[in-house]
């Protein structure tokens, strides 16, 4: 069974940093591109970042470019999102999601909440 | 960036009713994916590559479209179909529609 389990969220002050993790199991992690997708409270879905299976290709949404860094450790089956210079508008539930070949985001984690507030 | 415009934003449907949700892209895309989300739950893949049903999706659902216009249709609405549906396109940067909240009448 495919599982994606996020952690590392919490309450953080504006301008500070936070690092999210997503541990994958039930599939060969190193074979798949991975994404972070977020959802502000009561709002829709916003794609944040993508990393290819071997970390060769990395893409970001304009809203986070230069502030967030996506990375992965295939030996640990873990995806990361380093978030710096956090703003109130980054407050959201952050999902880790697997990129299927042509099937879209085919597996999602349960999400981890990040709240940016003083 | 390709902007996806979903309509309607919210709608109600009675059991047995036919439901159609549309998604228009600001530029042509090769295909569209759709996700279903219920309150307090993670989104689920629902329809991929415009018209293919994800595993476990009832066959009363269908998807169609091309270019800049896509749709998700439910034949014979059931109570369990009440949810928010999002379309999503597969060009970078990936973008989602704002969602259509479908409620049971």
Q: Which residues on A lie below 8 Å from B46 (Cβ)?
A: none
- Tokens at residue B17, please? 């009713």
Strands (E), chain B: 4-7, 10-13, 19-25, 32-37, 44-48, 52-53, 61-66, 69-74, 83-89, 95-96, 100-104
Q: Quick one: closest CA in B to A61, which residue?
A: B93
Mean pLDDT of A60-80: 98
Instruction: Give the residue-averaged pLDDT of B33-57.
Output: 97
Whether residue B42 and residue A111 make contact (CB cut-off 8 A), yes or no, is: yes
Of the pLDDT bands very low, low, confident and very high (cuts 50, 70, 90), residue A73 is very high
Q: Which two tokens stand for residue B38?
A: 């219920």
- The Cα A22–Cα B11 span in angstroms is 35
Predicted confidence at residue A101, as pLDDT, reads: 79
Q: B-chain residues within 8 Å CB-CB of A100? A: 45, 48
Taking the Cβ of residue B85 and every Cβ of chain A, the question of whether any pair is shorter than 8 Å is answered with no
Min CA distance, A60 vs chain B (Å)? 7
Q: Where does B1-105 have alpha helices with state H? A: none
Task: Tell me the nearest-neighbour CA distance from A67 into chain B, angstroms.
Answer: 17
pLDDT tens for each residue of A14-57? 999 999 999 999 999 999 999 999 999 999 999 999 999 999 99
Q: B76-100: per-residue pLDDT in tens? A: 999 999 999 999 999 999 999 999 9
């Amino acid at each position: 069974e495919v599982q994606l389990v996020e952690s590392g969220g919490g309450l953080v002050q504006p301008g500070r940093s936070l690092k999210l993790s997503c541990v994958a199991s039930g599939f060969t992690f190193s074979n798949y591109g991975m994404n972070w997708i977020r959802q502000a409270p009561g709002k829709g879905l916003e794609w944040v970042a993508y990393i290819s299976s071997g970390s060769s290709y990395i893409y970001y949404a304009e809203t986070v470019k230069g502030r967030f860094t996506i990375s992965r450790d295939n030996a640990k089956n873990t995806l990361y999102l380093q978030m710096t210079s956090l703003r109130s508008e980054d407050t959201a539930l952050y999902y880790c999601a697997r990129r299927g070949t042509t099937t879209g985001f085919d597996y999602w984690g349960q999400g981890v909440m990040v709240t940016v507030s003083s | 960036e390709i902007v996806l415009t979903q309509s309607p934003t919210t709608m109600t449907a009675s059991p047995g009713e036919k439901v159609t949700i549309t998604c228009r892209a600001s530029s042509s895309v090769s295909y569209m994916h759709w996700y279903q989300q219920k309150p307090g739950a993670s989104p689920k893949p629902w329809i991929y590559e415009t018209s293919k049903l994800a595993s476990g999706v009832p066959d009363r659902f269908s998807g169609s479209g091309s270019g800049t216009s896509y749709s998700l249709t439910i034949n014979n609405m059931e109570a369990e179909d009440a949810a928010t549906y999002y379309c999503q396109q597969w060009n970078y940067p990936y973008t989602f529609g704002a969602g259509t909240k479908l409620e049971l009448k």
